[in-house]
Amino acid sequence: MGHSSQSQAKILVFLAAMALSSLTMIWLFWRYPLPTSIAALAVVAALYGSARLARSVEPDSDATMDEGDQST
């Protein structure tokens, strides 16, 4: 179950990006706790709002799935 060298490089780059992002957030929170907290809450609220918007404009998948199952 070995990975190819290209796959390993992609995994390594992903882990490095995640570590850098985490360390940056920790440093920002340590240095500027209140502005970092406010910015983090704003980002989470924006993601929540966009998920709600996406759910509201998505067609109703339950109605289309039930149309094919009318055997009973």
pLDDT digits (tens, 9 = 90+) for 3-34: 788 999 999 999 999 999 999 999 999 999 99
Using CA atoms, how far apart are residues 40 and 60, in angstroms rounded to an integer?
Answer: 32
pLDDT at 16: 97
Number of residues that this document lists for the chain? 72
Using CA atoms, how far apart are residues 13 and 25, in angstroms rounded to an integer?
Answer: 18
pLDDT at 64 over 70: no
Nearest Cα to Cα of residue 40 among 54, 22, 53, 56 = 22
Provide the token pair at 25: 């957030």
Using CA atoms, how far apart are residues 72 and 8, in angstroms rounded to an integer?
Answer: 51
Give the confidence band of 36 by pLDDT, cuts at 50, 70, 90.
Answer: very high
